Amino acid sequence: MASHSPGTDQIDTLLWIGIVAAAILIVALVGALLYVLRRYRGERGAEPRQLLGGRALQFRVAGVLTLFAALLFILGVVFTDNAREEPSTGDAGLASLKSEPLKIKATGQQWLWRYDYPNGAFSYYKLVVPVDTAVELEVLSTDVVHTWNVEDLARKADAVPGKTNEVLFSADEEGVYGGDSATLSGQAYAAMRTEVEVVSPEEYEEFVEAQNEEIDAAEERVVGLIENGETP
């Protein structure tokens, strides 16, 4: 994973904190286990001392573990809160937005993502967003549960029918970022992918314009065909 958004920076950091904490626990436990297994080997001989652990020792161990867990919890809350923060649109971003994030609907359906832009344009499979701009995705589903997942830009979010999930990001670099849906949604689940193309604000404006014109033209064609009594 290569992070390209302020939110994923926070996710990345917390992930590393988790990996370090897990490594500490694994090394401590497995190390102690291996040491004890090597040190106290003995097939025969007298019964060893019948040692029992006192309450004080147990409390000390419990105390250390509690501190460890509490520290992780606090770090977890701090970094999660940071990751949820709404990013701000920078100077290179879409100027027309002011303080509002760019609101786009991402709708999952078996087995395709549809994106609806503020001006009525829409696109399938590929989402085009301007660089350095706060984007708010409303993640929806029309059929089964899907998970929108473009890990370089944002968190995973489940698309659950009847519910709205929210994803915030602001891409720091132009480029194409791919992702696979992450919840089993039926036969073509593995092929249900999506792409986010991050472009300059001018290119974005051109894209939604062109998309709108194409959609209108297509609609006109269809309406024309129907009026002529042909099947579209």
Partner 1 sequence: MSAGPRPELVADGYSAGRPRWAQLATSADHKDVGQILITGALGFLFIALVELALMRIQLLVPENTFLSPVAFNRMLSLYGASAVFFFALPLVIGLFYYVAPLQIGARGTALPRLGQVGLALWVAGATALYATFLFTPSEAGVNPLAPLSEVAFLSNNGVDAWATATGLATLGFVLLSINLIATLKTMRAPGMAWRRVPVFAWAAAVGSWLMAVIGPVLLAALTMLMIDRNYDGIFFADGSGGAPLLWQHLSWIFYTGTYMLILIFAFGAIAEIVATFARKPLFNRNVVMACLAAIAVIGTLAWMQNMLTAPIGIGWMYFAMLMSLALIVPIGLVLFNLIATLAGGTLRMRAPLLFATGAIFAISVGLASELCHSLVAAAWHLKNTTDSTAATHFALVGGAVFGGFAALHYWFPKMTGRTMGESLAKISFWTILAGLLLGFVPLFFAGAEQGQVVDAYKYFAGTGVTAYNVIASIGVFVLFVGILLTILNAIFSRTNGPEAGHDPWAGDTLEWFTLSPPEPHNFDVLPDVRSARPLRDIRVAIGHRSRRSERAAARESQPVA
Q: Is 75 in the site for partner 1 (CB under 8 A)?
A: yes
Contact assessment for residue 146 and residue 183, using Cβ atoms and an 8 Å cutoff: yes
Ranges within 33-52 binding partner 1 (CB under 8 A): 33, 36-37, 39-52
Number of residues interacting with partner 1: please give it, by CB under 8 A: 86
Selection from 158, 178, 182, 154 nearest residue 167 by Cα: 154
Nearer to partner 1, 86 or 205 (CB): 86
Between CA 138 and CA 136 the distance in angstroms is 6
- Strand-pairing partners, residue 140, are 107
Residue 226's φ and ψ, nearest 5 degrees, are -65, -40
**172: which 2 tokens?**
């720091």
Q: Is 56 in the site for partner 1 (CB under 8 A)?
A: no
Q: Is 15 in the site for partner 1 (CB under 8 A)?
A: yes
Q: Is 188 in the site for partner 1 (CB under 8 A)?
A: yes
Q: Is 112 in the site for partner 1 (CB under 8 A)?
A: no
Per-residue binding letters, 141-160, with partner 1 (x by CB under 8 A)? --xxx-x-x-x---xxxx-x
Of these, 174, 180, 197, 203, which contacts partner 1 (CB under 8 A)? 180
The piece of 54-62, 85-93, 97-105, 208-216 that touches partner 1 (CB under 8 A) is 54-62
Q: Is 76 in the site for partner 1 (CB under 8 A)?
A: yes
Strands lying side by side in the sheet with 126-130: 126-130, 193-199, 175-180
Contact assessment for residue 108 and residue 141, using Cβ atoms and an 8 Å cutoff: yes
For the CB of residue 204, give the shortest distance to partner 1 in the complex, in Å. Answer: 26
